[in-house]
Structure 1
Amino acid sequence: MSEREALNYLSSAVLLVDEDGIVRFANMQSRDLFVCEAHPGVALSTLLQTRVVSGMIDLAGPKGTGCDTSLRFTDGRSVWAAARPVPSGGWSIVFQDVRMALAQAETTDPVTLLANRACLSSTLTAAIGAACDPVLFAVGLDRFRHVKDALGHEIGDALLRRVAERLTSLADSCDLAARVGDGEFLLLKARAMDAGETTALADRIVDLLSRTYAVEGQMLNVVAHVGVAMACREIATPEDYIKRADLALAQARSDGVGVRFYEPVLAERMEVRRRLELDLRRALALKQFELAYQPQIHLESGTIAGFEALLRWRQADGSFVSPADFIPIAEETGLILPIGEWVLRSACQAAAHWSHPAVVAVNLSPVQFRNRGLTQNVVAALAHAGLPPERLELEITEGALLEDTEAVIATLKSLRSLGVKVSMDDFGTGYSSLSYLRKFPFDKIKIDQSFVRELEHDAEARAIVRTIAALGSSLGIKITAEGVETQGQLEEVRSHGCDYVQGYLTGRPMDDAAARASLARIEDRVHGT
């Protein structure tokens, strides 16, 4: 197909005009616009005189600048004309019916030129009415927001266009692909599909969209997840379809898998989650959070070296909500930021009033760690409490370290420059532990309790703990074994060279008053009282 033949497939009317103003090519849409008057050999001025009642296209202006103008046609239509010089000589002129452009804008995503949510909803309504038993695939891209934040909106938009191209390559002529959010798409199959065919297509979407993209010289990776909603009697509206596909997508992301089909239990879980989110917001407003402090014991001296501040949510009836239930929701909704600031301030305030200069350790969520105001929040918390920075230890999990290495290292160095200690929590559970030890000198490594728990029964666990302790010793990094619950585990971590222990055996979480009392006993022994 020649370039000129390809112009016939555009939705806009296009003329190619030579330097003398003579039409040399007119695509099919331009012939419709000018009622068959547009043909090679006719003068542009003659063509315009037959159909245009106001406005003109001035090709005599400064060379290379082009011309944009509004034309009024004899049938009352407003048409926008954009003339641009062609490198080989002459001009290309694109005509766009304003009314059609506005109608297209109402149904088209401007970035990818896919359908938008309104267009898909309308098409889905028709498919439901025709009893076509359509299947809806909701597609979500993990890591897309990181790409856009790190490399800018232009790269992000270019990536979205590449994703759209791949998605539409999997669609038939009667299907409809739509972009409905930042890194979120819908694919509508307007016909019945069996479970096997549906699963196969969903797997293909995940595989194709998760492959590496080459965009503007950058090699980019995203991870695709798919939620599937199939036809059933309970679905009466497009919103029902979309909601079910979205619920399945959310479950796929939560489970860390590629594909999930909608099932009724997902709606029940979502309702529980919605209520928990509302309760969480209420808890923040009503100050239902409190801190417990678990001692960290120095193995050589047997004394308390510090406490880890642990977040607790006590409801109005006195019952506690497990952090495993509410922390993920707080991170998803962004509530972890104000909650995390409260934890930081409260822990520093408590530690400032301890009689013994013990360290207080505070966990940082990956969401907090990505917050650009983190360093300022730490400075403010220390200043407000009057706590020396060397008495604050910030614990960071590997989840906070997986993306954007340069920014991660910059944040770690910024925190270290304040004088606070920085430790890596849950060491050994991810794949990037060793690489980060090489790039940043952590003050402490905390061996994940999953290894400590198996010390008495598993030779591999003992080898891992021994290796980590030796690594810490060679790098000058202190080692804490967390989750120590038995005397046997305590003796194991001691024999392998760990510096500190934390767990139920050496001290359960306690309130601030009990923590103060424990430290006061140390002071009494020091002063012989």
Structure 2
Amino acid sequence: MGEVPFKGIFDNLLGSGGSQRGGRSFGGISADDKLSIVEELEASGLGWFWATDRDGKVTYLSPLIAQAMGYKPADLIGHSFQNLFETDSGTGSSRSLSLKLSARKSFDNLAVRASAEDCDLSLKISGKPIFEGSDKFRGYRGSALDVTKERRSEEEAARLAKYDSLTGLSNRHRMAQRIDSTLNAFRAAKRNCAIMMLDLDRFKQVNDTLGHAAGDELLRQVSSRLQRVIDGGCEIGRLGGDEFQIMLPDMDDRGKLGEIAKKIIEMLSQPYSVEEGRASIGASVGIAIAPHDGVTREEVTRSADLALYAAKGGGRGQFRFYSTDLEFEANLRKRMEEDLRAAIDRGEFSLAYQPIVSSKGNKVLTLEAQYRWIDPHRGEVSPETFLPIAEGSRLIVQLGEWALKQACKEAMEWPNSLNIALGISSVQFTSDGFADKVVEALKESGLAPERLELQLNESVFLGDAGSADKTLSKLFKMGVRLTLDQFGAGFSSLSYLRRAPFSAIKIGEKFLLGTMFDDKPDTDLIKAIVSLAKAMGMETIANGVESMELLELVVGCGVAHIQGYVFSDALDKEALAKALSGDDWTLDPLVSGSQRASRRTVFRKIGLIHEDHYYEVTMRNLSRSGCMIEGLVDVPLDTQFVVDFGGGQLAVATAKRSSGDTQGLEFEQELVDDGAGGLCTRHRVSPYALASAGAPLEALPAGRYTGMPAAEVVQKSVPCFQLSDNAPQH
């Protein structure tokens, strides 16, 4: 490294008088001392220097700059200065380093970064052109200041303004910006975008039992799991607390969205290991799709929020798609919760009992208690309607305690050979002192513990694992029988079987339900469950057996006990007393399940489009692959229709069965799970398509439109089919 360039820089620092080593002094300080001061300044990092020749090649660079870039100072001599550094794009500077140097004018505090990929060095450089005489350019000399720490601090501040500091996910502000910009761009391009809202179930229990440090670590693990499930082209955000949001561009297939939601719920429901212990939580997901469920961010987010609220109200650990019915449903739930509270206080509930029958000899072994609520205004309210609301409001704790005592009391009036079974909500199971309440109910009634069977589903394990194990151990020690209900409907069933002292497995109805055109359930899976239960010393119960064919099938698979309408509906106290008047109670199966129609039927008006005509008919039942309709007379086989379910849901279907005014239609594309135990089409007619047909997009708020309303179907010819007397009347 030559002395002349450095001496020239030193001259600039001292002034126009120049410097000489040796005798000359400046203000009482020798030139050597002055030079030492500059060298110490370089070594401290408070000030660095650089110089180039007329061609922009480095003639001097402070040693610490070279070291920060991973080189020895001599290695950089002769390199192009502007190739070593580039203007820092994050500063908003409009002029590059090369333009500054080519202008041959002085400049100050230009922010640059080292060009090398593995070097994180930021400088603010100042430079002054050096001329020989008046116009002969000799190069640049200048100084540099290390601002790497300041730049990193600014970047971190900018990152914290956009990202969640705990999980590293986008924060609420960034998610709002990203969704706004995406929806605005997609509106012009007529593209779809799905929004998911996620809420963690039982997260508060983790904070309360294990502490906030454990809660924070759990949230970080949740973030990591979400990133493994969601594709890179999507945006994941944490809005605060245990609330998350996901944006999925170009996604409107509700089949795929449902699968993603199920995978999220499954992944997040697996146990977590934190320093303070082991934790289990769950998740609920609400889904809305633009432009079907809203055009702006506010509309779509509100729709997803309503869907999330419905998912949590449905028992948690579920997903729901937005529909316009949710607006009404939210109000209905609020009113029903108030009525439930009053009904419990007024004693409007009773119990009915459905027999569980031995597959060998058809002897009734157990009676399962089921809730009955006769509301003064609504009439009899289905348990499927009010129990999720009771669970969501925790009224199930009070209601369940009453049912436990009442069932034990009434069972004392039965023969000792009959057991009593009662389904226990996870909310009730995890409430304070549940095991003590069981002891109290047995003591008050005098019922032997071995005659009481408590049916628990897998959700009881998703809270505090230690507390759940303690409660199960207490119940087992007192002699109460435990059954794992709805086996296979949740996750990690095998691990639960190994952990808990269950005496029986109740096979979920999902395994027993076929489709309209293929009524056979998964027999191989049922056989596998039976074999597993036998290997673990447990019995099996098949629930929801509604026909002779299904009865023969499950008995052939080796299932030990049968419950369903093929034997009997639930009996009230009077009917039960009459049935128990004999000695041994056996039941003969019915040729047709007594309640099959009410269980499988969906009476609902839908639209049918054929050629240029729109008919309103009644849908009697529905499966993934087809539906049964009533209302059109003498429809030939293989007639093709478009089924309008409303809300933009259209399905192409073909008549595969036809008798009088009843037809069995087979869908061209199977329906998918709607997250609420129902079915929906994969896709919907886009509001953009309706807008192109003349309906203004602005006039189509979240979901409030029909896919193909009757008024839009022009009647150009004589209808092919006549409406029967059973068809809906206008």
TM-score by length of 1: 0.59
2:374 alignment counterpart: 314
Match for residue 348 of structure 1? Answer: 408
From the superposition, tell whether residues 229 and 247 of structure 1 become closer, same or farther in structure 2 (CA, over 3 Å).
farther
Aligned residues of 2:458 and 2:496 also touching (Cα < 8 A): no
Quick one: which amino acid aligns to residue 576 of structure 2? A
- Native 8 Å contact 1:292 1:511 kept in 2: yes
1:141 aligns with one of 176, 191, 199: 199
After TM superposition, list the pairs within 5 Å mapping 1:100-139 onto structure 2: none
8 A Cα contact 2:196 2:304, kept in partner: yes
Distance, in Å, in 2 between the alignment partners of 1:273 and 1:427 is 28
Aligned partner of 2:344 among 277, 281, 284: 284
After TM superposition, give the deviation of residue 395 of structure 1 in Å: 0.4
Structure 2 CA distance for partners of 1:488 and 1:208, relative to 1, 3 Å = closer
Q: Tell me, in whole angstroms, the C-alpha distance in 1 between the residues paired with 2:319 and 2:499.
A: 32
CA distance in 1, matches of 2:273, 2:356: 48
Residue 424 of structure 1 contacts residue 446 of structure 1 at CA under 8 Å; is this kept in 2? yes
Letter in 2 for 1:362: L
Q: Does 1:358 align with 2:421?
A: no
Residue 142 of structure 1 contacts residue 224 of structure 1 at CA under 8 Å; is this kept in 2? yes
Letter in 2 for 1:145: K
Identify the residue that residue 213 of structure 2 maps to in structure 1: 154
* Alpha carbons 2:513, 2:521 under 8 Å: kept: no
> Which of 522, 532, 539 is residue 478 of structure 1 equivalent to?
539
| Equivalent position SS for 2:490 | coil
1:463 pairs with 2:521: no
Q: Find the aligned partners of 1:152 and 1:336 in 2 and give their Cα distance.
A: 27
The letter of the residue matching 2:329 is R
Give me the whole-angstrom Cα distance separating, in 2, the residues matched to 1:145 and 1:383. Answer: 34
Aligned partner letter, 2:199: L
Residues 352 and 573 in structure 2, CA contact (< 8 A), matched pair in contact too: yes
Describe the superposition over 1:316-346 as per-residue Cα deviations: whole angstroms up to 9, x where unpaired.
1472212222111111111111111111111
Deviation of 1:290 (Å): 1.3
> What does residue range 374-385 of structure 1 map to in structure 2 within 5 Å?
374-385=434-445
The answer for the alignment partner of 1:392 in structure 2 is 452
* In structure 2, distance between residues paired with 1:320 and 1:302: 30
1:274 counterpart residue number: 334
The equivalent of 1:410 in structure 2 is: 470
Task: State the partner residue of 2:622.
Answer: none
User: 2:306 corresponds to which residue?
Assistant: 247
Secondary structure of the residue that 1:269 maps to in structure 2?
helix
Displacement of 1:460 after TM fit? 6.2
- 2:489 matches 1:423: no
Q: Deviations over 1:370-398 (max 9, x none)?
A: 22311011111111111111110000112
Show the counterpart of 2:74: none
Q: How many residues align?
A: 395
Give the distance between the partners of 2:523 and 2:331, measured in 1 at CA: 44
Q: How far is the alpha carbon of 1:224 from its aligned partner?
A: 7.9
Tell me if the contact between 1:356 and 1:522 (Cα under 8 Å) persists in the aligned partners.
no
- Give the Å deviation of 1:247: 3.0
Contact 2:358 2:364 in 1 (8 A): yes
1:462/1:336 CA distance change after superposition, 3 Å:
same
1:489 pairs with 2:550: yes
Shift of 1:145: 2.5
Q: Are 2:466 and 1:401 equivalent residues in the alignment?
A: no
Three-state SS of the structure 1 residue aligned to 2:341 is: helix
Moved more, 515-524 or 473-482: 515-524
The alpha carbon displacement at 1:178 in A equals: 9.9
Deviations 1:196-255 (A, max 9, x none): 79xxxxxxxx99999999976889887585788999xx9xxx9x9997774354246569
Aligned-partner SS, 1:346:
helix
Report the Cα offset of residue 269 of structure 1.
Answer: 2.5
CA contact (8 A) 1:160 1:183 kept: yes
Determine if contact 1:303/1:522 at 8 Å carries over to the other structure: no
- Greater radius of gyration (CA): 2
Mapped to 1, the partners of 2:449 and 2:362 lie a distance apart of: 24
* CA contact 2:350–2:371 (8 Å) conserved in 1: yes
The Cα of 1:358 is off from its aligned counterpart by: 0.7
Task: Identify which of 232, 242, 247 aligns with 1:183.
Answer: 242
- Worse overlay, 279-288 or 266-275: 266-275
Mean Cα deviation higher: 438-447 or 158-167: 158-167
Contact 1:396 1:424 in 2 (8 A): yes
Which residue identity does 2:396 align to in structure 1?
I
**Distance (whole Å) between structure 2 residues aligned to residue 402 and residue 165 of structure 1:** 19
Alignment map for 1:429-440 (pairs within 5 Å): 429-440=489-500
Q: How does 1:5-404 map to 2 (within 5 A)?
A: 140-143=198-201, 144-156=203-215, 183-184=242-243, 225=285, 246-247=305-306, 249-251=308-310, 265-317=325-377, 319-404=379-464
Is 1:448 matched with 2:490?
no
Are the equivalent residues in 1 in contact too, given 2:206–2:464 (CA < 8 A)?
no
Tell me what 2:632 maps to. Answer: none
**CA 1:156 to 1:510, structure 2 compared with 1: closer, same or farther past 3 Å?**
same
Write the distance in 2 (CA, Å) between the matches of 1:434 and 1:457: 29
- Shift of residue 184, structure 1, vs aligned partner: 4.2
Query: Cα offset for 1:521?
Result: 1.1
- Change in Cα spacing, 1:441 to 1:264, as seen in structure 2 (3 Å) is closer
1:74-104 CA distance string (max 9 Å, x none): xxxxxxxxxxxxxxxxxxxxxxxxxxxxxxx
Instruction: Decide whether the 8 Å contact of 1:356 with 1:519 is kept in 2.
Output: no
SS at match of 1:479: strand
Partner of 2:608: none
Q: Tell me by how many angstroms 1:421 deviates.
A: 0.4
Deviation at 1:484, TM superposition (A): 1.8
2: CA distance, partners of 1:259 / 1:460: 25
Per-residue CA deviations over 1:416-452 (Å, capped at 9, x if unaligned) read 1111100111123233222222223311111223323
> Which of 492, 504, 512 is 2:573 aligned to?
512
CA contact (8 A) 1:469 1:498 kept: yes
Residues in 2 aligned to 1:328 and 1:399: alpha-carbon distance in whole angstroms: 14
Aligned-partner residue type, residue 333 of structure 2: R
User: Does 463-472 or 390-399 show the bigger shift?
Assistant: 463-472
For residue 565 of structure 2, give the secondary structure of its aligned residue in structure 1: coil
Compute the displacement of 1:310 (Å). 0.6
Q: 1:222 to 1:284 in 2, by over 3 A?
A: closer
Distance change (3 Å), C-alpha of 1:296 and 1:275: same
Q: Secondary structure at the match of 2:522?
A: helix
Structure 2 residue runs of 5 or longer lacking an equivalent are 1-165, 174-194, 227-236, 252-260, 587-730
Q: In structure 2, how many angstroms separate the alpha carbons of the residues matched to 1:244 and 1:464?
A: 38
User: Relative to total residues, which structure has the larger helix share, 1 or 2?
Assistant: 1
Change (3 A) 1:159 1:417: closer
CA distance in 2, matches of 1:442, 1:419: 12
Q: Is the partner of 2:491 in helix, strand or coil?
A: coil
- Please say if residues 359 and 555 of structure 2, whose CA atoms lie closer than 8 Å, have aligned partners that are also in contact: yes
Question: What SS does structure 2 have at the residue aligned with 1:430?
Answer: coil
Residues 125-182 of structure 1: CA deviation (Å, up to 9, x unaligned): xxxxxxxxxxxx9965314224324522332256669999999xxxxxxxxx9977x5
Distance across 1 between alignment mates of 2:290 and 2:523: 49
Distance in 1 between residues matched to 2:461 and 2:214, nearest whole Å:
23
Separation of aligned partners in 1, 2:485 and 2:355: 16
Q: Residue type of the partner of 2:480?
A: V
TM score, norm. by length of structure 2: 0.44
